[in-house]
């Protein structure tokens, strides 16, 4: 039995794998030398590796299109990116370079779309799916988009009252709409039915009374989203089946409805042992739609997804230096890092979300069980278990002059939106640097600083000093 960290990893998982590899004893991420980035920029820093975004889009498109042609499905697959997951221009631009449609959730999102259009990155034929609560301001912004000539903007109704509010704000265009079906939550959830969307039991009545025969509106889509993710579980398929049955019933009333939207929910790798059969899930989705549509003798719909986390999550990482080792009792050893976990990966604290955690160096050293602590003074600013394991093991530190560096990987989804990019953070710990990594026209890796570590001036300015 060998006792180095690398032996532990190789005995526990397949390694190297999925963008993680050792080169000259240092970890690389998608071929990017993290050692070189540490030397060039210094920790702490977050990185966004843009090419991963396109790879994810292409993979989903490939597996859905394979399932479509293998099963002779009549509709088309459409990949929409939900901006709320990561709004950064460089991220949305990268996704758009792979011909995605967009999903919006607030009035500011509309300005984001218009900005992308003005920059020549988004065209007016693309589909824009408008989810979220429709305030009057949001509705007006959507109509503005339509008057600018965006032909495929679809307002997905989150409630019955939204329709009358939409119709009150006049527009000369016929309004394309979708209906979001509220899902029932899993057993033991804090509530039974999601507040998002229209009650399942009310939808047919609503369609018959308020949509059928109304020439101002064009019902295009049924939407549902199981926020716990697309999983091969009785619960997921139960909600899925309810939605596709509902679509079939609506199609008999409004034959022009032609799209079925499964929302987001494709997962990302959050531990090295992660396994998920994307191909078989896509095929099951396609086959279930076919079976239901054939039973009801209706044409299969165009399929939309709005994958957020799946699109961007695996493109991000955050790298820290361990700045102190603290033995707090006989069994508990802390590695204190040079920023805050609460501030940089808030889902770890708020949702008990796990991320892939790996050391950057010292893989040949022996390992020990540790807790990782941030430098804010909040007691919850720590991380001490992995998804498959109740413990964290990291290499032993051996030389003060040669520190240990660690990284949390696949962190690009939602963390900045939840934490607030820049801004005021717990204990005024500054937001770390942000480095973008891309490939140039010849395929060589390039990196540049997108934003420096937050300055004291910036912090004091926000606070009114």
Ligand X SMILES: Cc1ncc(COP(=O)(O)O)c(C=O)c1O
Name the site residues for ligand X (rule: CB under 6 A).
82, 85, 103, 131, 225, 263-265, 306-310, 413
* DSSP classification of residue 208: I
Q: Which is nearer to ligand X, 307 or 367 (CB)?
A: 307
Neighbours of 331 (CB within 10 A): 7
Residue (43 or 305) nearer to ligand X, CB: 305
Q: Which H/E stretch holds residue 384? A: none
Cβ proximity to ligand X: between 306 and 314 the closer is 306
Q: Which is nearer to ligand X, 104 or 376 (CB)?
A: 104
Nearer residue to ligand X within complex by CB, 266 or 320: 266
Nearest-approach distance from CB 156 to ligand X, in angstroms? 8
CB of 289 vs ligand X, minimal distance in Å:
18
Containing H/E element for 359? strand 356-359
How far apart are alpha carbons 91 and 311 in whole angstroms?
A: 10
The rounded distance, in Å, linking the Cα atoms of 28 and 36 is 10
**392 membership: H or E segment, kind and range:** strand 392-395
Least Å distance, CB 255 to ligand X, is 26
* Nearest distance from C-beta of residue 236 to ligand X, angstroms: 13
Nearest-angstrom CA–CA distance, 20 and 369? 22
Q: How far is the CB of 412 from ligand X (least distance, A)?
A: 11
Which residues are within 8 A (CB) of 108 and not within 5 positions of it... i.e. 6 or more apart? Answer: none
- Least CB distance from residue 131 to ligand X, whole Å? 4
Cβ 102 to ligand X shortest distance, Å? 11
Q: How far is the CB of 211 from ligand X (least distance, A)?
A: 21
Positive/negative CA dihedral, 122, 91, 342, 449: negative
Tell me which residue has its CB nearest to ligand X: 264
Strands (E), 209-315: 217-223, 259-261, 302-305
- Please tell me the distance from the alpha carbon of residue 50 to that of residue 90, in angstroms, as a whole number: 8
DSSP secondary structure, 286-325, as one string: HHHHHHHHHHHT-PPPEEEE--SHHHHGGGEEEEEEEEEE
Q: 39 — phi, psi (to 5°)?
A: -65, -35
78: β partners: 304
Indicate the residue among 6 and 303 with the shorter CB distance to ligand X: 303
For ligand X, the closer CB: 307 or 383: 307
Reduced to 3 states, what is the DSSP secondary structure of residue 279? helix
Residue 218 to residue 229: CA distance in whole angstroms: 29
Query: Closest separation between CB of residue 311 and ligand X, Å?
Result: 8
Cβ nearer to ligand X, comparing 107 with 264: 264
Rank residues 6 and 60 by Cβ distance to ligand X and give the closer one. 60
CA-closest candidate to residue 433, choices 419, 421, 441 = 421
Q: Comparing C-alpha atoms, which of 25, 82, 75, 155 is closest to residue 312?
A: 82
109-113 CB contacts, 8 Å cutoff, 24+ apart: 109/83, 109/84, 110/138, 110/141, 110/142, 110/144, 110/145, 111/141, 112/83, 112/87, 113/145, 113/150
Question: Smaller CB distance to ligand X: residue 237 or 334?
Answer: 237
Distance CA 129, CA 115 (A): 17
Q: In the complex with ligand X, which residue's Cβ is closer, 19 or 265?
A: 265
* The pair of three-digit structure tokens given for residue 360, joined into one six-digit string: 């950057």
* Shortest distance (Å) from residue 246 CB to ligand X: 17
Minimal distance in Å, beta carbon 260 to ligand X? 14
């Amino acid at each position: 039995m060998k006792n180095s960290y690398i032996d532990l990893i190789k005995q526990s998982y397949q390694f190297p794998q999925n963008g993680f590899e050792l080169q000259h004893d240092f970890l690389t991420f998608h071929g990017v030398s993290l050692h070189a980035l540490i030397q060039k920029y210094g920790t702490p820093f977050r990185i966004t590796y843009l090419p991963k975004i396109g790879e994810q889009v292409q993979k989903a498109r490939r597996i859905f299109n394979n399932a479509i042609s293998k099963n002779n499905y009549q509709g088309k697959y459409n990949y929409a990116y939900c901006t709320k997951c990561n709004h950064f221009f460089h991220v949305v631009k990268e996704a758009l370079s792979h011909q995605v449609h967009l999903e919006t959730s607030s009035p500011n999102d509309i300005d984001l779309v218009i900005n992308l259009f003005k920059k020549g990155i988004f065209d007016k034929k693309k589909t824009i799916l408008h989810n979220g609560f429709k305030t009057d301001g949001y509705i007006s912004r959507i109509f503005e988009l339509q008057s600018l000539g965006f032909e495929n903007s679809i307002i997905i109704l989150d409630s019955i009252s939204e329709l009358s509010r939409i119709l009150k704000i006049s527009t000369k265009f016929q309004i394309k709409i979708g209906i979001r079906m509220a899902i029932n939550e899993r057993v033991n959830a804090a509530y039974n039915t999601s507040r998002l969307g229209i009650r399942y039991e009310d939808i047919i009545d609503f369609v018959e009374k308020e949509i059928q025969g109304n020439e101002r509106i064009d019902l295009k889509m049924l939407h549902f989203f199981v926020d716990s993710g697309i999983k091969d579980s009785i619960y997921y398929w139960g909600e899925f089946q309810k939605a596709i049955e509902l679509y079939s019933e609506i199609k008999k009333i409004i034959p022009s409805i032609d799209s079925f939207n499964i929302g987001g929910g494709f997962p990302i790798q959050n531990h090295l042992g992660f396994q998920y059969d994307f191909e078989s899930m896509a095929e099951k989705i396609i086959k279930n739609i076919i079976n239901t549509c054939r039973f009801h003798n209706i044409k299969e719909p165009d399929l939309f997804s709005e994958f957020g986390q799946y699109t961007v999550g695996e493109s991000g990482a955050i790298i820290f230096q361990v700045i102190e080792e603290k033995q707090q009792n006989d069994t508990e050893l802390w590695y204190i890092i040079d920023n805050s976990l609460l501030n940089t990966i808030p889902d770890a604290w708020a949702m008990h979300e796990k991320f892939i955690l790996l050391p950057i160096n010292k893989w040949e050293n022996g390992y020990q069980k540790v807790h990782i602590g941030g430098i804010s003074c909040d007691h919850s600013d720590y991380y001490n278990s992995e998804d498959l394991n109740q413990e964290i093991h990291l290499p032993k530190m051996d030389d003060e002059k040669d520190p240990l560096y660690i990284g949390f990987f696949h962190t690009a989804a939602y963390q900045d939106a939840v934490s607030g990019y820049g801004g005021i953070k717990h204990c005024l710990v500054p937001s770390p640097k942000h480095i973008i990594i891309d490939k140039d026209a010849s395929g060589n890796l390039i990196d540049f600083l997108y934003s420096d570590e937050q300055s004291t001036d910036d912090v004091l300015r926000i606070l009114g000093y």
